[in-house]
Structure 1
Amino acid sequence: MNCATHTAPGAASIAPEAASRSMLAGMGLVALAGCILATQDAAIKEMTARHSPMQIAFVRYGWHALFIAIFLRAAGRQEVYRTRRLPLHLARAALLLTASLSMFVAIAHIPLSQATVIQFLSPLVVTLLSVLFLGERIGWRRTTALCLGFCGVLVVIGPARDGAGGPSLVWLLPLLSACGSAGYVLMTRRLSSPDEAAPSMALMPVICFLALLPVQPFFWSPVTLADMGILAGLGLTGTLAHVAIQLGMQAAPASILSPFLYSQVIVASLWGVVFFGDPMSAGFVLGTFLIVGGGLAIWWIERPRPTP
């Protein structure tokens, strides 16, 4: 009895501290992943002046497949390519490939900051798709958040398109990327069982790599040693970002960590201004506020409440 009464207070005091450290680690990992992804997009935008987005994606996914296989083997995972749900993995990879290629083509023609902000409509699209395909019901608050996000897209696209002078259809590509990312998230939820965790990480880049292989003769251009090093770096950093998100989600609930991925918007805007001279107009700031605000509102509405 005395032992129990002495250890319980200590456990109670240590547990909140451990939970707090775990949550902070998760926040840091997800924010780091956002920074890595934004830096990747900046490097890809620079490379599109010399190589096709199809070629960039092909080589990047090849390196990604290699690095993630090495990581999983080092972590003691065996048979990482064996799955009983191959059709879902194929659909998931197709959605991610759609999101990636749409974004790569978009940032080759329009400012990086605008494309990234529009792409972050994906949390709102996830909510919309969950209504259409999963039969979920949403109230007026989430409906308002959806409307704010779509209004933000219109605000960002309007003045930015006029200033950039790019083809109008190109501005739809970040929206397509957002839809692809949203579908990818929904498919990831369906493949979240423990026995599918390793195949989800290992199969995705392999499928994307093989899907892009047949079209390479039509898009391939000579790659210098320096560019190959950059592409290898993209594969490595893409693997690190993916692993950081996976580890972050294990350290804290996704509902708490989701807003920290908006670090990608901040860093992409910074790189866009510093390296590419992207405009930071009042319309862009307002549209960013509406899109990010809508995503944060969805997070706030759907966050788990503590039980009384």
Structure 2
Amino acid sequence: MPNNRQTGPLMAPAARPPAVPPPLAAPRNDRQGTAILLICASALIFAAQDGISRYLGAAYSPIFVIMLRFWFFAVFVILLCARAPGGLGRAMRSKRPWTQIFRGVLLVAEVVVTVEAFVRLGLINTHAIFACYPLLISALSGPFLGEKVGWRRWVAVAVGFAGILIVLKPGSGVFSADAVLPFVGAAMFAVYGLLTRLVGRDDPAMVSFFWTGIAGAVAITLVGVWHWEPIAGRDIPWLLLLCLTAVVAHFMLIKAYELAEASALQPFSYTQLVWVSIFGVVIFGETLAPNVAIGGLIVVGAGLFTWWRARQRERAGQG
């Protein structure tokens, strides 16, 4: 799920790039090319992670699986922040601690909802709807952040939601209450992304990263311990792989955002939808229905348009 990042579920903000003396700095094009490769690789790994989550979520309580995943993630966050300038003491100091805690709780709740959607709807249908989260961020940036939302963005949002309706086919007899799950997950992730931008006005990225992992782990533990289940021996390797892929993908994200701006990398995060579709069809025997493919493309296209408009405004402001 892409992550703000905003990207898929558990994509956290990265630290600012360290200052590099000009003689040693890599050419800008080389840095951006490397960043694009890293973001595409992380999208592939996140797609694989979604597939593993779908498999484990069908065998165990999703809350239990995500609790173990967040424990591993919290350890990774602590080790990473401990090595950052200022150490853990600096990472813990937030000017908006309650907002940071709410972000972490919201993110872990979103992951639970999304994994449940994977189990009930499959990877393809879930991601086709979940891909609307950039549009929700665009629509909600006005009331949350006081940003001006122009008519072009509102048109893009409307077009994106038309794409969701094509995916869902309401009134055709195939629409179910379960189809609401990925939309709820997308809405939660959009609010998480907006809150990430809000706290970013006062807190460094590493502080937000720390609170994301720790608050999320504590919150899911309070609920997850009541869902404890014995793990079959055959599933232990998959569980370990789920945790390891989360660490590897997040490390790649951090390195990518050290090399290039997030706004330049955002379009490439949509490659996760391609990999998810391949895994869904080949591994899980899902069907890529024509309405899902068309609706998903419309949603992604609307999201890319909002990204392009944001880039145009940034360049106009710099000019």
1:5 aligned residue: none
Paired with 2:237 and 2:214, the residues of 1 have a C-alpha distance of: 20
Paired with 1:217 and 1:239, the residues of 2 have a C-alpha distance of: 23
Matching residue's letter, 2:37: G
Contact 1:67/1:236 (CA < 8 Å) preserved in 2?
no
Instruction: Give me the TM-score of the superposition, normalised by structure 2.
Output: 0.83
Displacement of 1:233 in angstroms is: 2.4
Contact 2:139/2:153 (CA < 8 Å) preserved in 1?
no
Q: Which runs of 5+ in 2 are unaligned?
A: 1-21
1:145 aligned residue: 156
Match of 2:189 among 153, 174, 181: 181
Q: What is the correspondence of 1:95-106 to structure 2 with a 5 Å cutoff? A: 95-106=106-117
Question: Within the alignment, does 1:254 sit opposite 2:262 as a pair?
Answer: yes
Contact 1:68/1:239 (CA < 8 Å) preserved in 2?
no
Contact 1:100/1:177 (CA < 8 Å) preserved in 2?
yes
2:310 aligned residue: 302
Match of 2:62 among 53, 56, 68: 53
2:137 aligned residue: 126
Match of 1:196 among 196, 204, 215: 204
1:238 aligned residue: 246
Matching residue's letter, 1:125: L
Displacement of 1:162 in angstroms is: 5.4
Displacement of 1:157 in angstroms is: 1.7
Displacement of 1:253 in angstroms is: 1.8
Question: Within the alignment, does 1:38 sit opposite 2:43 as a pair?
Answer: no
Q: Secondary structure at the match of 1:49?
A: helix
Question: Within the alignment, does 1:67 sit opposite 2:67 as a pair?
Answer: no
1:83 aligned residue: 93
Contact 1:124/1:149 (CA < 8 Å) preserved in 2?
yes
2:168 aligned residue: 157
Paired with 2:194 and 2:308, the residues of 1 have a C-alpha distance of: 19
Displacement of 1:256 in angstroms is: 1.3
* C-alpha distance 198-305 of structure 1, shift in aligned 2 (>3 A): closer
Instruction: Give me the TM-score of the superposition, normalised by structure 1.
Output: 0.86
Paired with 1:188 and 1:77, the residues of 2 have a C-alpha distance of: 21
Displacement of 1:247 in angstroms is: 2.5
Q: How big is the alpha-carbon RMSD for the aligned residues of Structure 1 and Structure 2?
A: 2.5
Aligned residues: 292
* Identity percentage of aligned residues: 29
Displacement of 1:274 in angstroms is: 0.6
Could you list the per-position Cα deviations for residues 188-229 of structure 1 after superposition, in whole angstroms to 9, with x for gaps in the alignment? 223336953323222322222211223335422111344333
Paired with 2:72 and 2:233, the residues of 1 have a C-alpha distance of: 15
Of residues 285-294 and 135-144 in structure 1, the stretch that sits farther from structure 2 once superposed is: 135-144
Paired with 1:192 and 1:239, the residues of 2 have a C-alpha distance of: 22
Contact 1:124/1:295 (CA < 8 Å) preserved in 2?
yes
Of residues 130-139 and 146-155 in structure 1, the stretch that sits farther from structure 2 once superposed is: 130-139
Paired with 1:134 and 1:202, the residues of 2 have a C-alpha distance of: 23
Match of 1:114 among 125, 128, 148: 125
Displacement of 1:30 in angstroms is: 1.6
Point out the structure with the larger helix share.
Answer: 1
Of residues 84-93 and 116-125 in structure 1, the stretch that sits farther from structure 2 once superposed is: 84-93
* Runs of 4+ deviating beyond 6 Å: none
Matching residue's letter, 1:48: G
Match of 1:171 among 154, 176, 179: 179
Displacement of 1:291 in angstroms is: 0.4
Could you list the per-position Cα deviations for residues 45-81 of structure 1 after superposition, in whole angstroms to 9, with x for gaps in the alignment? 0112210000011000001111232333355651255
Q: Which runs of 5+ in 1 are unaligned?
A: 1-10
Contact 1:83/1:196 (CA < 8 Å) preserved in 2?
no
Displacement of 1:31 in angstroms is: 1.6
